[in-house]
Chain A
Amino acid sequence: MRRLREWWIRASNLLRPRRPDSDLEQELRAHIELAAADGRVERGVASSMDALREQRGLPWIDDFVRDVRFGCRMLWRDRVVSVVVIVVLAVGIGASTAIYSLANAAVLRRDRPVDDRWVVIRAHLANRGPALTFFSVPELADAERATDVFESIGAITGTDFTLTDGDFPERVLGTYVTASMIPMLGIPPALGRTFRPDEDQPGGPHVVVISDRFWRDHLDADPNVLRRTIMLNHVEYAVIGVMPPYYDLWGGRLWVPMQLDRHDTDRRARRFWIAGTLRPGVTEEQANARLALIAAEMTREFAITQPEYAGMALRVWNVREAVIGGVRPAYVVLLVAVALLMLTACANVANLLLSRAVARQREMSVRVALGAGRGRLIRQMLVESCLLSIVGGIAGVALAIAALPLLVHLIPSEYLTADPELVRVDAQAIGVAAIVSIATGIAFGLVPSLRSARSSSAGALGQRSNTGSRSARSWQHALTIVQMALTVLVAIAAALTIEGYRAAERLSLGFNPDGIVSAYVSLPATTYASADRIASFYRVALADIASHAGVTGAAAITDRPLGYRSVDITTYEIRIPGHAVRDGAVAPAAAFRLVTPTYFAVAQTPIVDGRAFTDADGAGAPTVAIVNDAFVKRFLDGARGAGSQVVLGTRFGARNLAGTTTQPTTATIVGVVADSRQTRVIDDIVRPELFLPLAQHPADARNMALVVRTSLDEGAAARVIRAGVAHADPQQPMFEFDRMTDVVMRAFGARRLTIVLLFFFAVVSISVAAIGLYGVVSFGVQQRQQEIGVRMAIGASAPAIVRMVVVSGIRMALIGVLVGVVVGAATTRLMASQLTNVSATDPRVFAGASVLLLAIALAAAAIPARRAARVDPLAALRVDA
């Protein structure tokens, strides 16, 4: 206890101003004088001073401070090496920290306490491709019986509201939820409350819970917001709650109770998703097994009325997984790339430190001879390497903080899956960086220091110090080889990704995005009940837009190419008279889009056969269709498309899994257009597609994209489009104005980002590896100066010396490249998800990366080799002799 207190006092003395040595000495001298006056002689000023100094502070802290000071001096003496090490570490740690922060925000972090258990239910039908997600009230009731696996369950669906408070109507993304939905996610509102069950009944009150952003953007963050109302679709809603910042539920800005009529027995009225939280400990397999029982009951009970239940499987799908599943591979590739970069950097740092340790062997020997303990020497070396790594780490974190906003700016929002404000270098990332730096410092300071301390204790003073020991050399060689191998891996991964992207880019878009501005409209069913009203809206709006100067054409299409609706567009089961095509066990089907006559001209999609639609293809005229190239290849055996007949049968949609069987219509194919990329999934194959004239199917045209070819800039074009729409209906909002070039950019953006970053990593890795090889070879030259001198003295020519040195460098590079290629061949298959247009073991890529690396290795070895050839034999022999 007493000891502890004294330590505490001593430690705290470190922080107080301490009596300087001069003061202590003065006191001792005064003592001697006083003693002399008494006729005595006192001695031992020096030893007393030592004892006083000892008493004054904690010896190990003093030692540490001395080590740090000495370390700084040493690092300054070798400042070139120090700067290289710090830069290499800063780049490695900076890149890791930035990418970690990004990945943390995008795919690693759990936003909700229930993220692991939050699922939606999907129906996998026996004979239809994609899983379906919309369900009806009776089906919700069926799912709700599974209380043994679900903790809570409810319905949710996104919708557009028109905010009619302001000067002009504005579209707001909203979400209908049952009362159970918000509470099940475990995040309480920041203000007010969420819905009570009694508010979630048919005819219940008009109440709304709003997001933090809506509160700030539209209600000026009014603290008394709970007494206010907002106008949605001309109806007054009372605000009852505000969710906390960054709260995200189905991407909506506000939430409204779904007010389902629980007495509804129509199993086909599928209007919402079913989402729930699994009970803690319940696995997805268990939930699926339970749902299988329910599906079996449903099939048994409703075999006659609901034939679509036959063979149906209900399965849960983790919501978080659904959101981030698509982008995870890109982040995994990036994280692996930074890990490789970090490893390369570490190998390099170790190598440089090892080289330096060899160079300082003599200094160490002197210190051992003067009585320094082995532990003391190791500590000294560790302090130095930790100093380096800590400075490197701090520089790296600063680099990451500076680079992250740029990085975030580069990423298309749909690939971020997190609010950009949430992407930051947080304490966790800094903690990771700190651990990495200190671990690097210790790991890569320890090896050389143990080595040199061992060899020093052998009394190496007498030896020629700069020949280096065999073990140091083999360590260095091993590290260089590892570094080369890692670099080859990064180079191969980068090259493969870039190849894949270029291959995908070579596939044609099928339309010309330059000069197209597009936006969506969503006509509400309440005001657009009749087909005529819908048709006239587009007629008036498009005519007005097209009449403006600077606009060369305006058209409408169900979804623009690469648009977000393309994934669940409605399909028709089709039959081609005279062709018995079966798509596996499934009847052939094709997605359809409505277009206005000028669409293909506006998009500049080539018509390869037949004609485009005209204004004559209207309501009374014969039913016509245009198909894409993929349709002809798949269903018409490549025969001439135009002139064929197609029978449009049952219609399916994401909300219409049973399908609507109406009287089949026969349409005449009047034209064939070139394939366009449809979805924003860059590697997706182009599916068979039908285009139908809007004028013949106006009832399906409530949600359309307006596509305008113009020479105006985006802002002016948006004003023209708004004016045209307002001309047709002043109450109708528009959303998602976009230049088509931006849409294309975003669609391919994640891939592009991966490429830019991988390319960057490859360049950095290769430079780091080149520095490493250069360092080792030049060190070898320095160490072998005498040997080289002797060789030259006995007649070796300069070219022979160059050859000898270069071969020693290239040998390491060659082994490293070989190892890298072998490991690469075994592991690149893991990135197959990123590589759909290129083979994961493309020999050209492997050969290219190897040759590049060897060429750089050659250059890195050639510089010191030339220096070696210039060695003056006499001077070399005299060195250290």
Chain B
Amino acid sequence: MSNKAQAKADILQGTLDLMVLQTLATMGQQHGYAIAARLEQVSKGAIQLNMGTLYPALMRLEQRGLVRGQWGVTDNNRKARFYGLTAAGRRELEQEKHEWDRLAGIMDALLRGDA
């Protein structure tokens, strides 16, 4: 992967992680499909995650101890792996949100030409 592509992927990855964490924070325990569906709905179809992006992201978050997954049963009686935020995940989300706000504020100020 070229450096440029790698950099872009990093940004995407960070954003995706934040989106997943926020989704789990608002919806509680959810399986992967529900997370993807929710993101698609909230973004009005702008974000369509395929499995090859979503599940590695969930695994990454699990590896970092931010979410924990376990097998369960859906309302329709189907087996699925449900993910929930851990305490570390909650902390990370708060911190990332704060970071995002700060960055957004800076970008906003810069782009609106207030500086």
Contacts of A124 in B (CB 8 A): none
Which residues of chain B from 48 to 65 have any CB-CB distance to chain A below 8 Å in the complex? Answer: 50-53, 55-56, 59-60, 63-64
In the complex the two chains form, what is the Cα distance from A33 to B52 in whole Å?
A: 16
Contacts of A51 in B (CB 8 A): 52-53, 55-56
**Binding stretch for chain A, among B20-28, B31-39, B102-110:** B31-39
Q: Does A402 contact B (CB under 8 A)?
A: no
Contacts of A24 in B (CB 8 A): 55
Chain B's closest residue to A34 (CB) is: B33
Q: Are A31 and B33 in contact (CB under 8 A)?
A: yes
Q: Does B81 contact A (CB under 8 A)?
A: yes
Contact with B along A5-36 (1 / 0, CB 8 A): 11001100100000100001011101101110
Q: Are B59 and A52 in contact (CB under 8 A)?
A: yes
Q: Are A56 and B52 in contact (CB under 8 A)?
A: no
Q: Does B15 contact A (CB under 8 A)?
A: no
In the complex the two chains form, what is the Cα distance from A34 to B76 in whole Å?
A: 10
In the complex the two chains form, what is the Cα distance from A50 to B53 in whole Å?
A: 11
Q: Does B79 contact A (CB under 8 A)?
A: yes
Q: Are B60 and A55 in contact (CB under 8 A)?
A: yes
Q: Does A463 contact B (CB under 8 A)?
A: no
Contact with B along A42-77 (1 / 0, CB 8 A): 101101101110111000000000000000000000
In the complex the two chains form, what is the Cα distance from A55 to B53 in whole Å?
A: 11
How many Å from the CB of A458 to the closest CB on chain B? 30
Q: Does B78 contact A (CB under 8 A)?
A: yes
Q: Does A37 contact B (CB under 8 A)?
A: yes
Q: Are A55 and B59 in contact (CB under 8 A)?
A: yes
Q: Are A30 and B31 in contact (CB under 8 A)?
A: yes
Q: Are B31 and A34 in contact (CB under 8 A)?
A: yes
In the complex the two chains form, what is the Cα distance from A26 to B72 in whole Å?
A: 12
How many Å from the CB of A289 to the closest CB on chain B? 68
Q: Does B18 contact A (CB under 8 A)?
A: no
How many Å from the CB of A42 to the closest CB on chain B? 6
Q: Are A30 and B78 in contact (CB under 8 A)?
A: yes
Query: Interface majority SS on A: helix, strand, loop or mixed?
Result: helix
Q: Are A52 and B55 in contact (CB under 8 A)?
A: yes
Q: Are A42 and B51 in contact (CB under 8 A)?
A: yes
Q: Does A285 contact B (CB under 8 A)?
A: no
How many Å from the CB of B72 to the closest CB on chain A? 11
In the complex the two chains form, what is the Cα distance from A422 to B32 in whole Å?
A: 65
Name the contact of A27 in the complex, choosing from B37, B53, B60, B81 (C-beta under 8 A): B81
Chain B's closest residue to A29 (CB) is: B79
How many Å from the CB of A40 to the closest CB on chain B? 9
Q: Does A38 contact B (CB under 8 A)?
A: yes
Name the contact of B78 in the complex, choosing from A33, A42, A50, A54 (C-beta under 8 A): A33
Contacts of A34 in B (CB 8 A): 31, 33-34, 74, 78, 80
Chain B's closest residue to A9 (CB) is: B63
Q: Are A9 and B31 in contact (CB under 8 A)?
A: no
Name the contact of A45 in the complex, choosing from B33, B51, B53 (C-beta under 8 A): B51
Query: Interface majority SS on B: helix, strand, loop or mixed?
Result: helix
Contacts of A55 in B (CB 8 A): 56, 59-60, 63
In the complex the two chains form, what is the Cα distance from A24 to B79 in whole Å?
A: 13
Q: Interface size of B by Cβ–Cβ distance < 8 Å?
A: 21
How many Å from the CB of B91 to the closest CB on chain A? 15
In the complex the two chains form, what is the Cα distance from A13 to B78 in whole Å?
A: 29
How many Å from the CB of B8 to the closest CB on chain A? 15
Name the contact of A31 in the complex, choosing from B51, B53, B64 (C-beta under 8 A): B51
How many Å from the CB of B103 to the closest CB on chain A? 15
Q: Are A44 and B50 in contact (CB under 8 A)?
A: yes
Contacts of B34 in A (CB 8 A): 34
How many Å from the CB of B100 to the closest CB on chain A? 15
In the complex the two chains form, what is the Cα distance from A42 to B81 in whole Å?
A: 17
Chain B's closest residue to A24 (CB) is: B55
Contact with B along A133-154 (1 / 0, CB 8 A): 0000000000000000000000
Chain A's closest residue to B63 (CB) is: A9
In the complex the two chains form, what is the Cα distance from A28 to B50 in whole Å?
A: 11
How many Å from the CB of A871 to the closest CB on chain B? 54
Name the contact of B51 in the complex, choosing from A5, A19, A48, A56 (C-beta under 8 A): A48
Q: Are A44 and B51 in contact (CB under 8 A)?
A: yes
In the complex the two chains form, what is the Cα distance from A27 to B80 in whole Å?
A: 7
Q: Are A44 and B52 in contact (CB under 8 A)?
A: yes
In the complex the two chains form, what is the Cα distance from A30 to B26 in whole Å?
A: 23
Q: Are A9 and B59 in contact (CB under 8 A)?
A: no
Contacts of A45 in B (CB 8 A): 51
How many Å from the CB of B68 to the closest CB on chain A? 13
Contacts of A52 in B (CB 8 A): 55-56, 59
Chain B's closest residue to A47 (CB) is: B52
In the complex the two chains form, what is the Cα distance from A501 to B40 in whole Å?
A: 93
Contacts of A56 in B (CB 8 A): 59
Contacts of A50 in B (CB 8 A): 52
Contact with A along B84-99 (1 / 0, CB 8 A): 0000000000000000
Q: Are A37 and B76 in contact (CB under 8 A)?
A: yes
Contacts of B51 in A (CB 8 A): 28, 31, 42, 44-45, 48
Chain B's closest residue to A54 (CB) is: B56
Q: Are B52 and A48 in contact (CB under 8 A)?
A: yes
In the complex the two chains form, what is the Cα distance from A408 to B53 in whole Å?
A: 66
Chain A's closest residue to B69 (CB) is: A27
In the complex the two chains form, what is the Cα distance from A54 to B55 in whole Å?
A: 12
Which residues of chain A from 669 to 697 have any CB-CB distance to chain B below 8 Å in the complex? Answer: none
Q: Are A30 and B56 in contact (CB under 8 A)?
A: no
In the complex the two chains form, what is the Cα distance from A68 to B58 in whole Å?
A: 30
How many Å from the CB of B14 to the closest CB on chain A? 9
Name the contact of A6 in the complex, choosing from B64, B78, B79 (C-beta under 8 A): B64
How many Å from the CB of B105 to the closest CB on chain A? 22
How many Å from the CB of A9 to the closest CB on chain B? 5
Name the contact of A38 in the complex, choosing from B37, B56, B80, B81 (C-beta under 8 A): B37
**Interface CB pairs A-B, < 8 A, 10:** A5-B64, A6-B64, A9-B63, A30-B33, A31-B32, A31-B33, A42-B50, A45-B51, A48-B50, A48-B52
* New A-B contacts (14) at CB < 8 Å, excluding given A19-B59, A42-B50, A48-B56: A9-B63, A9-B64, A26-B79, A28-B55, A34-B33, A34-B74, A38-B37, A47-B52, A48-B50, A48-B51, A48-B52, A51-B56, A52-B56, A55-B63
Closest 5 CB pairs of A and B: A34-B33, A48-B52, A55-B56, A48-B51, A51-B52
